[in-house]
Amino acid sequence: MTTTWSGARLLRDRNARLYLTQVVISGFGTSALWLVSGVWVKDLTGSNGLAALCVFALWAPTLAGPLLGTVADRIRRKPLLIGVNLLLAALVVALVTVDSPDRLWLLFAVLLVYGASGVVQDAAESALVTAAVDPSLLGDFNGLRMTANEGMKLVAPLAGAGLYAVYGGPGVALLDAVTFVLAAGLCALLRVHEDRPRQASGDWRAQTAEGARHLWAHPRLRPLVLAGGGTMLFTGVCGALVYAIVAGLGHSPAYAGVLYAVQGVGSVAIGLVSGPALRLLGPHLFGACGIALTAVAVAARAVPSDAVAVVCSLANGAGLPCVLIAALTAVQRETPGALLGRATATANTLVFAPNVIGLAAGAALVELVDYRPLLVALGLALLVTAGVLLQSRARASRTASRSPSDANPA
């Protein structure tokens, strides 16, 4: 099994190249609007609470992931992605009319649809990629996808802020609409064969539950998804402490932007080497190593040093995506195509919803306790999560060694 970097081979693949270009373009527009929407609301109302609701509106549909993922299993994925991108382009254009507080309902409505569509897109894209990309390159692909997304998070907010300063919110909305149209065009160019979705049996509730049942019953996927959720829970708490950490370093709140940028660099870097690392270590060990690195980075943030804070941000950016990439790649490889949309959406809900809970818990805890012991406790909790994931890997290996199919190979 090769452990060399296969990015060049992947980029020579027409479908992979088109899809990654689409990720860059749509990610640019999404990251720009994500930042600008809060600034836009703040300028119109002066309310920090309403501005924060923009992020909530984008994230809230993740909780309905299992249900929304069912859509991706009932419709051919390529036409679905094209249609969703064009729908979002039309909806975002409507934001040019938001010029006063009494029109903000439209902005929040669009953001909710935006978030729900993103859940459907992620589920459909995960399934479509398995048909468009060589299965042996899925780890490389998901790593490069992470690199593209994180790279856009470094560039797009600055570009969006500049565009907002000149043209206001409507200018950014039009830019986002253009990115969706381009993304739809790139999806249309993909060359992929899709079978007609099989006729669904049972009601929507039963169909939705199939994804969760598959993840829970699968001895390799369940530990990865649960470890991803636990990691996002604890890092969510840590994320709420960032301004306390910055204050402890003696800097203004704006310094948090420097730490986030360094963290993004770490995520870009790990995305480039995820494919070979997954092939060398396997998903459980790769994910556990990433969680352990994150644990050390979180605990060490208690040290009041600029140099340590920067190194920890870089390490956190490199460590956190490992379990996310490992879990997504494993779900793609070990889930039947007809179930992949629901399984992906359910996994995303189980992994990312705890982050919202962690942020809320961290916001409360930072007012009650010193952030430094809390960071050490979070680091220990992450180390335990890494250990549990490693134990599940060992159990899976023992089970496989006792399998009758191993004793009597075909």
| Cα–Cα distance for residue pair 267/264, rounded to 1 Å | 5
Please state the separation of Cα 177 from the chain's center in Å: 22
For 338, which DSSP code? G
296 has pLDDT over 90: yes
pLDDT in tens, 183-207: 999 999 988 777 776 665 566 777 7
| Cβ-Cβ contacts under 8 Å for 26 (sequence gap 6 or more) | 85, 179, 180, 182, 183
404 has pLDDT over 50: no
- Please state the rounded mean pLDDT for residues 252-279: 85
275: left (phi over 0), alpha (psi -120 to 50) or beta: alpha
For position 260, what pLDDT does the model report?
A: 82
Token reading at 164? 């907002």
CA angle 71, 236, 316 (to 5 degrees): 105
The residue among 344 and 148 whose pLDDT is bigger is 344
| Cα–Cα distance for residue pair 386/370, rounded to 1 Å | 25
The residue among 48 and 330 whose pLDDT is bigger is 330
282 has pLDDT over 70: yes
For position 26, what pLDDT does the model report?
A: 84
Q: Where are the alpha helices (DSSP H) in 133-254?
A: 138-188, 204-217, 221-240, 242-248
pLDDT in tens, 141-196: 888 888 888 877 777 777 877 888 888 888 888 988 999 999 999 999 988 777 77
**116 neighbors 345 (Cβ within 8 angstroms):** no
pLDDT in tens, 95-151: 999 888 888 899 989 999 988 988 888 888 888 888 777 777 788 888 888 888 887
| Cβ-Cβ contacts under 8 Å for 376 (sequence gap 6 or more) | 299, 302
Second-level CATH architecture of 8-192: Up-down Bundle (1.20)
pLDDT in tens, 327-340: 999 999 999 888 88
User: Of the ranges 42-56, 117-131, 224-238, which is most confident?
Assistant: 224-238
403 has pLDDT over 70: no
Full DSSP string of 247-266: HHTT--TTHHHHHHHHHHHH
**284 neighbors 7 (Cβ within 8 angstroms):** no
pLDDT in tens, 361-373: 887 888 888 889 9
| Banded pLDDT at 1 (limits 50, 70, 90) | very low
- Please state the rounded mean pLDDT for residues 28-49: 80
For position 358, what pLDDT does the model report?
A: 87
Poorest-confidence range of 251-255, 275-279, 314-318, 325-329?
251-255
Average pLDDT, the chain: 84
| Cα–Cα distance for residue pair 345/69, rounded to 1 Å | 5
Does the fold of domain 206-397 match that of domain 8-192?
yes
For position 38, what pLDDT does the model report?
A: 80
For position 396, what pLDDT does the model report?
A: 63
The residue among 325 and 133 whose pLDDT is bigger is 325
Q: What is the CA radius of gyration of the chain?
A: 21
Q: Which residues of 380-390 are buried (b: 16+ CB within 10 A; e: fewer)?
A: ebbbebbebbb
Q: Which CATH class for the 206-397 domain?
A: mainly alpha
Measuring CA to CA, how many Å separate 270 from each of 142, 243, 276?
11, 26, 11
| Banded pLDDT at 408 (limits 50, 70, 90) | very low
Domain boundaries, the chain: 8-192, 206-397
